[in-house]
Amino acid sequence: MSKAKAQQPAVIHKVIMVGSGGVGKSALTLQFMYDEFVEDYEPTKADSYRKKVVLDGEEVQIDILDTAGQEDYAAIRDNYFRTGEGFLCVFSIKEQESFQATQEFREQILRVKNDENIPFLLVGNMIDLKDQRQVSYEEATKRAQDWHVPYVETSAKTRVNVDKVFYDLMREIRARKMEAIRQNNGKQNKNRKKKKCVIL
Amino acid sequence: MADGIARILAKSTFDPEAFIAKLSAGGEDALLDLRQKVHALNEDTAQALKKNVYKNYSQFIETAREISILEGEMYQLSNMLTEQKSLMSSMMELPLVSDKAMVEGPKEETKEESPEEETRRNLAFLLEKVEGCSSVTEVPGRHLVHDTDLVELDPETHIQIQRVHAFLLSDSLMMATWVPTRRGAMRYRFQGLYELDSLAVVNVRDTGPVKNAFKILMFPETRMYQTDSAKSKRQWLDILEDTKKKKALKDKQRKEAANRLSDQLSLSPAMSPNGDAVPPGSPVASKEEEPVTMDTDFLQADWLQELPEDLDMLIAQRNFEGAVDTVEKVTEFLQACPKGPALKEFKARIEHRVKQLTDGLMSELQVSPERSLRGGPRAARHAVTQLIRLGKSAQACELFLKNRSAVIRYNIRQLKFEGATTLYIRCLCTVFFSSLSDTAKEFLKAFPDHYGCYSAFVIWAKHELISFVSIFRRQVFESKASLTTIAECVQLAKKHCAELSSIGVDMEFSLASMMDLPIQQVIEETRDQTVEGIRYRAQDEMWRPMNLQNKNDCDKFVADMKKTGFDIEQYVVDKCFVSLTQATVQFAKSSVTMVEDLMKLYTIELESLIANTIETVVMAQLAQIQSALKSDKFKSERPTILKNTQFVAEKVLGRIFELYQQNDLTCPRQLQAAQASYQQVKQ
């Protein structure tokens, strides 16, 4: 086990997929993880994935928690959200209700994380089915602007922007982490520097 | 000599060849002699054997019977032991084998009705296995759903931390760490208990080196566990999900029930004189809390908390009396307890055990082929008493009587029909009526003051009587027995039946009504047979006095007749002649026997039939006499005929009247008329 650990990159970015049921959270995750699109819809309970990726030249691990859109208990959802460092809030562009639901998810995440600047992406999925669009690009962008978050449209089926949303989010998470380290007191900074020196 | 041979043959060193060689040297005579001796020896031995067999015959039969009974009981015993053993092993397996629990998934659903049944047992088992979990097992209604060994991993690095054992309870998840240095049952130490409500489960997909893992998010911790197989993980995820759902459903129901209750309670405050509408939210909620805490406090007493467990134990030990004592005690106590949902729940738990208890008691009374019926009625009383105390007198009564029916049937079946009908009927009556009276006595003792059950007993007794009569009828009436036998049997039954009235059960009328019809038929048959006999004898009648050859025989005959109730000395002529004919004597004998039997069968309902029967028989004889008198053939025998007529008129009819008197009955008029017509013949 410890050997395996040595090979694992030390940095883990924890991403959580949120959104109503059936908007394609799992499809996005699976496309990202395994480059495959799953047609069959089966409601997720809560799945966690981990993958080694190279983020801007740095090897990191991404830990994706694919949550259940149908989870009945807010208390349990809180538990999921607490473990996350960044959120992909997914809705289906062909389903207005799912778009409306993002508001609720956003509020819950902010409440649980107690952080206005939590890494967060608003994701409009199913862009391959543009002809059935119910949520306009403008509408979604406006909401994203209100929240001060990016808005990205994706297709889990055609893999449009799939890697982008994950990597963008990871960058945000990384940026936040750096900031946190910077904000930390000098002592820890010193420690870090010392450590760095040793490595060098 | 034979003894000598026997000694030689019985020797253990007997050598047949040498023996024969030695004998054959002596020639033919010696051989013949030997043959004779051997033959005699053979006969002697057979005789001795027969004697021995006969001597020990009854003992042998008795022993064989006892052995067969013993064998049956041993068989039952071994059956019961096997049953017990399988029960024990299934009990032992139950809490440990999680795979089985999964395989029996659908069965779990049906078990759900009474999950508390195993609650105590399972959680008690936890106490033995896990150190420091006593607080966990104290929660009533909690039971074990699933448990396996798991490996705890670091959620960040996926490094193995320690071995743990997870216990999924009905409302929470308990983790216990494995203590490697321990020996014995107590191998785990309590780590934590997590409410299912706030517990999030995450399925960790098999990416990278870690397989078969899942995460449990329980704020503020995140824990990751690894199972030993994909199947086991699937089980955990499914069962966790399932249990969470069930718990949520239960909570919801409980909440609804509490709401309903508080709605009722808040009805009066809602009608407060202020007329203010009570806001639906808060006050109701606060009110709902109040009674709950009150009755929970009330139920907090130690003995109450342990009571269900104690009850389980008592039932398992078959200490039914103690169990009923406990139930009575708690029922009394709960009556004083304030009403509330907790009480309701508690009551439900008690009720469940009461049901178990009742089942146990009922099975005690149940008639089953593998149970010996050799116990008396007192054996059943114990169970009956407890059932009555539980307020199940009706069931107790029914089962008790059913049990008794089986016992009676069994006892009757034990009777062997050997030889005489009367003997068998005597045994049958003894067995049946003594069982009946035993049952009645026992019933009065077991069901005092349960008057409602008495009617059930009466109906039962009637029913039993019917089956008794059907056996009786088969043995007595349908076996073509003689009237004498039948009369004796009927008399026996009646006598026994009459004895029952001493214990307050009078069934004579039902017995009589059930037997009336066959008795009538028998009487009519007998009458026809007797008349037939008279006609048959008349054909050969020569109307000659009986010649008994010598005085000795004649005296013997007279004495013989005297025994049957006839004084015929006046009919003796010349010391060896009797002026009665053979047919007359036979008629006298048969008719008197018949009348005697009829007197035994006498009931008011049968009175006229009996009188008519006797009249028919007597008149049939008269008809023969009259035709003989008219016939020219017997002209010279007229004095003898008249003498016989006189004998019938005086002695036979006189004897019949006497029999009537002996039974304290008035002689029917038609018989007196018959006597008169005989006397007319004389003139």
Cis? peptide before B220, omega within 30° of 0: yes
- Please say if the pLDDT value at position B142 is more than 60: yes
Give the tokens for residue B9: 């043959």
Its ipTM equals 0.79
What is the per-residue pLDDT for A173?
92
A82 lies within 8 A of chain B by CB: yes
Query: Which residue did the predictor score with more confidence, B49 or B288?
Result: B49
pLDDT in tens, A139-161: 999 999 999 999 999 998 899 99
| Predicted local distance difference test score (pLDDT) of residue B354 | 82
Which residue did the predictor score with more confidence, A10 or B63?
B63
pLDDT over 60 at B633, yes or no = yes
What pLDDT is stored for residue B266 in this prediction?
Answer: 54
What percentage of residues in chain B have a pLDDT greater than 90? Answer: 1
How far A146 CA lies from chain B's nearest CA (Å)? Answer: 31
Quote the pLDDT of residue B377: 55
Q: Tens of pLDDT along B243-279?
A: 888 888 888 888 887 777 766 655 544 444 444 443 4
Q: What is the pLDDT of residues B335-371, one digit of tens each?
A: 777 666 677 777 777 787 888 788 877 777 776 555 5
* Mean pLDDT to the nearest integer, A164-170: 93
For the cut 60, the answer to whether the pLDDT of residue B629 exceeds it is: yes
Distance in angstroms (rounded) separating the CA atoms of residues B477 and B463: 20
Among A1, A47, A76, the residue with its CB nearest the CB of B159 is A1
pLDDT tens sequence across B362-399: 777 776 555 555 555 566 777 777 777 777 778 788 88
pLDDT (0 to 100) of residue B270 = 40
What CA dihedral angle connects B15, B20, B21 and B25, to 10 degrees? 150
Q: Angle formed by the axes of helices B607-630 and B508-539, to 10°? A: 10
Q: Which of A12, A52, A79 sits opposite B217 (nearest CB)?
A: A79
CB contact under 8 A, B198 and A46: no
Nearest to B472 by CA among B455, B456, B496: B496
- Condensed to tens digits (0 to 9), the pLDDT of residues B150-168 reads 888 888 888 888 888 888 8
Contact state of B215 with A48 under an 8 Å Cβ cutoff? yes
The mean pLDDT of chain A is 84
Q: Is the pLDDT of residue B11 over 60?
A: yes
Read off the pLDDT of each residue in B504-509 and give the average, rounded to a whole number: 80
Residue A65 contacts B, CB cutoff 8 Å = yes
Q: A172-176, B84-88, B629-633 — which is least confidently predicted?
A: B629-633
Which residue is associated with the tokens 């006046």?
Answer: B570
Cα of first residue to Cα of last residue in chain B, in angstroms, is: 82
Instruction: Looking at B501-539, list the stretches that DSSP marks H as alpha helix, in order from N- to C-terminal side.
Output: 508-539
pTM above 0.80, yes or no: no
> How distant is the alpha carbon of residue A10 from its chain centre?
19
A46 to chain B: closest CA residue: B202
Nearest to A2 among B159, B202, B219 (CB): B159
Cβ(B648)–Cβ(B677) under 8 Å?
no
pLDDT (0 to 100) of residue B283: 40
Distinct helix (H) and strand (E) counts, chain B: 25, 11
**In terms of Cα–Cα distance, which of B155, B158, B152 is closest to B176?**
B152
